[in-house]
Amino acid sequence: MEGGRVVFLDAPAVSRDPLALARALASSPVWAKFARAALVVRGGATPRLAIAGVFDAADAARLRNLHKRLQHDLPRLRHVSYEQAQADCLTLARALQDRFDAAARDRFHYMAIPRGGHIVLGMLAYALDLRAAQLAPPPSPDTPLVVVDDCALSGARLKGLLPGLAGEALVFAPLYSPAGLRRAIIAQEPRVIDCLSAQDLEDDAPAQLGEKHAAWQAFERKIRGDIGYWYGRCAPLGFAWNEPDSGFWNPAVEAREKEWNLLPPEACLKTQIGWDAGAGARIQVNADGPGPIQAAEGVVYAEIDGTLLIGDAATGQTHALDGVGADIWRALLATGTTEAARARLGADYDVDEATLTREVAAFTETLVTAGLLMQGRARGTPPSGAGTSRGSGSPRPSGQRS
């Protein structure tokens, strides 16, 4: 396969549950943009996760973003369960009670920013014992309005909502938000009398970017059309109902694309409901066969468009096999011995037993020496260098497949 590659997704957090992470990645809208690729999972003592396929320039940018997500974001992912959200709603309720006296709160009406805000407001309504009338639209412009959301990262949703609100005094109350964003909203929106959150999100951008921070903020405003109030980089959130929208700039298509999901469908209501079985079918699991011949540790393989791509994490090489070479590989892993593999292949190939035995044994030795297979012992010495081989040295039986 011309240009076929196996890209290993190495990060400390990947090994916790590579199959769950593969399901998260497969549920991402950006994954649908990969036309010829599969996610590959291998368990065992050293779990591996990889993407195998043919990648263009746009895919390369998506893979760079994915590496960043796995190296930097996944270890810091903050999963907010329904139980945690309930506890945080109590904290937010107390913050509103501390900031505004009972008489002021009695006049407040409340609204949610769709859709996560509705879940938070439902809990908050019980925590504050709100009347049903307080959840209806304000009766007049002078009625204070509390706008609730699950999180605010740039304030874009609030900014888009405010022109349609007639209220003269508003309180913005996202469950999670950075303090810098709340200050920016108050400074830029005279109608917003306060911003309160249950939990602060820390902005990592100044420490990460250093002297490039100001230029990065200017670039974010440019590509996003200045739709928000503030731009930073916070540890990612994953609610039990949704992963907040965040994106990255893909220079190959000159557009902003949604970043990869980090929560598997079973941990996120929105993803679970929208889970596409077709996306799950593009996950290939490398299960260990009966042995003693098995894929070497650090090796994964995937079927892409009829070609077998084999990736070796130790060397960075990708080997492409098709035809008889791929068939021998499959037979060896399925049966675990050269004798059983030869018998399995004999049913499909019109070639005498002695020739097929020699060719299977020779090819097995080639794969063991290359470090791609092991025979119940330490792997062979891998070849030096890196690159992609076509498997041109594969044995070719003199007979034809029956």
Q: What is the C-alpha to C-alpha distance for residues 85 and 71, in angstroms, rounded to an integer?
A: 26
Residue range 173-198, pLDDT digits in tens: 999 999 999 999 999 999 999 999 99
Is 387's pLDDT higher than 70? no
Is 397's pLDDT higher than 50? no
CA geometry: angle 260, 265, 271, nearest 5 deg: 70
Residue range 137-162, pLDDT digits in tens: 998 989 999 999 999 999 999 999 99
Q: For all residues of the chain together, what is the average pLDDT?
A: 89
Per-residue confidence band for 348, with pLDDT thresholds at 50, 70 and 90: confident
Which amino acid would we find at residue 4? G
Q: Residue 376: left (phi > 0), alpha (psi -120 to 50), or beta?
A: left
Q: Domains along the chain?
A: 4-76+248-283 (no CATH), 82-200 (3.40.50.2020), 322-389 (no CATH)
Is 241's pLDDT higher than 70? yes
pLDDT value at position 347?
84
Q: Who wins on pLDDT, 383 or 266?
A: 266
CA dihedral for 280, 240, 274, 234, sign (positive or negative): negative
Instruction: Give the chain's end-to-end CA distance (angstroms, integer).
Output: 24
Residue range 39-90, pLDDT digits in tens: 999 988 889 999 999 999 999 999 999 999 999 899 999 999 999 999 999 9
pLDDT value at position 44?
81
Residue range 255-284, pLDDT digits in tens: 999 999 999 999 999 999 888 777 778 999
Helix axes 323-335, 338-346, angle to 10 degrees: 130
H-helix or E-strand spanning residue 280: helix 277-281
**CA proximity to 360, closest of 337, 377, 382:** 337
- Percent of the chain beyond pLDDT 70? 94
Per-residue confidence band for 309, with pLDDT thresholds at 50, 70 and 90: very high
Give the DSSP per-residue string, 141-184: TTS-EEEEEEE-SS-HHHHHHGGG---SSEEEEEEEE-HHHHHH
Per-residue confidence band for 384, with pLDDT thresholds at 50, 70 and 90: very low
Neighbour-count burial of 213, counting CB atoms closer than 10 A to its CB (0-12 exposed, 13-18 middle, 19+ buried): middle
Q: What is the C-alpha to C-alpha distance for residues 294 and 323, in angstroms, rounded to an integer?
A: 20
Q: What's the whole-model pTM score?
A: 0.85
